[in-house]
Amino acid sequence: MRVVVDLSRCEGYAQCAFLAPDAFRMHGEEALMYDPEPDDAQRERVLRAAAACPVQAILVDRLEGRTAEQDVPVTAASS
């Protein structure tokens, strides 16, 4: 699955690191490091972390599991 965190919004509450520790880790007291493509086994935990974020900074892919064929860029311009 794909995740991005708006770190300019993140205030380091660490709820995500508590709920999905394999995908979200604190670096020092306040800084967040995360895995942008966590394993699908993490899915439930990552969704819970996204829902629990006090500043709603975690965006999870909405096309999850059905990446639209027409939206996957495969063609080079020259082809």
Partner 1 sequence: MTSADNLRAFRRDGRIVIVGASLAGLRAAESLRDEGFTGSLTMIGDELGEPYDRPPLSKQVLTGWVPAGGTTLPRRRDIDAEWLLGVPASGLDLATDHVRLADGCEVPFDRVLIATGVRARPWFVPSEAELDGVFVVRTREHAEGLQRALAAGPSRVLVIGAGFTGSEIASICRERNIPVTVAELAPYPLVGALGAMIGEVAAEMQRAHGVDLRCGVKVTRLEGDAQGRLRRAHFDDGSTVDADVAVVALGGIRNTEWLQGSGLAAGVWGVACDTGCRAMDLNGLITDDVFVAGDVARCPNPVYEYRLISLEHWANAVEQAEIAAHNMVNGQAERWPHLSIPRFWSIQFGVNIKSVGVPTFADEVVVTQGSVTDHRFVAAYGYQGRVTAAVTFNNAKWLDHYRRLIETAAPFPPPCPTPDQPLDTKPVPVDFPGPTLLAQGATVVVTGHDPGERRVTAAHQHHR
Binding residues for partner 1, rule: CB under 8 A, are 2-4, 6-12, 27-37, 59-63, 67-68, 70-78
CB of residue 66 vs partner 1: minimum separation in angstroms?
Answer: 9
Nearer to partner 1, 36 or 44 (CB): 36
In sequence order, what are the residues at sequence separation of 6 or more whose Cβ sits closer than 8 angstroms to the Cβ of residue 24?
5, 16, 17, 32, 33, 34, 35, 49
How many residues appear in the chain? 79
Nearer to partner 1, 35 or 52 (CB): 35
Distance CA(29)–CA(24), nearest Å, equals: 14
CB of residue 31 vs partner 1: minimum separation in angstroms?
Answer: 4
> Are 52 and 15 within 8 A, CB to CB?
yes
CB of residue 55 vs partner 1: minimum separation in angstroms?
Answer: 9
